[in-house]
A and B are shown apart, each in its own frame.
Chain A
Amino acid sequence: MLDIPEAIYQGLRRHGEETYPYECCGILLGRSSHAAVDGVSINEVVQAVRAGNTRTDSAHNRYNIAPHDLVRAQRQGRQRGLDIIGFYHSHPDHPAQWSSTDLAEAHWIGCSYVITAVEQGRAAATRSFLLTGSSEEEKRFEDEPVSIRQNLIAEDDIEVIQSATED
């Protein structure tokens, strides 16, 4: 299950609208755990980090996050005791469903991959997929329920989405 605060959820959808007709992308920082009762994987989002899409040759249907942005996000997270627990991107004028490319280029097993469909510039469906499996050869996406937390967030967390390239 993806457990995400409302402000961050809306922020990543807004990111997709801002970059339309190109794909947006970003990194989700938080904590991973397993439910005590049924062992379901829970990825709890605490912060989202906007990243630039380096696929400028085909940004309308491809995205890539610079590894350097990942290194910086990981460092930023560690300062707050957070891990990289997922990623998000948008599908401009395309469904919120993972593609063959999304699976082929997903390597963070155990992480959540959030996809927002952006239709004519407006965010539509947002879905999350958990990358599971024990190896590259056996990896697969599973539909992942999304729980949107309505609770208030701290004042200094309102700027929940920051650019990894601007700090």
Chain B
Amino acid sequence: MKQLTLALAMILITTHSVQAQRYYTKNGSISFLSKTAMEDIKADNNQVMSVLNTQTGELRFSLLIKSFHFQKALMEEHFNENYMESSKFPKASFAGTITDASRIDFNKDGIYKVNVDGDLTMHGVTKKVSSIGTVTINAGKISADSEFPIKIADYNISVPKLVKDNIAETINIKVHCNFDQKM
């Protein structure tokens, strides 16, 4: 009987603790840079949605392709129309985990180097991605940063010969999120 009570208590504790460990943001930033000898192409998206479960390290990202903004209006149009086909594939998303989240003490200020594994979906293609990043706890606020490269060919994005020299085969992606909301 004692053991049964213990088990019930365990259920209660776990369910309870699960509920209190999710943080999210609706205005995270993701930017990318294509660097070639011809030109640098950069775009920013500051309307990235992300949810982080600090207990399990589970991490989700979702964004609208159309919310990437470029310096040149025509680049933005071509990005949406020709490369990402944003009306057909409006979203990009990531579902993964911070594999070493257990090492982070979310109640103590500090900077932690972490590993992230998961599935990145965009342009209708899902690929495994793993990258390193940092989780920063500052005055109880959680923020996360990461930078990783992707190959555009992996996501079925074709570049016409005429502009091959202007668009890099590997694009560098930068992520920055302040998980300032709790739910």
Q: Do A and B bind each other?
A: no
Give chain B's interface residues, CB within 8 Å of chain A.
none
Give chain A's interface residues, CB within 8 Å of chain B.
none
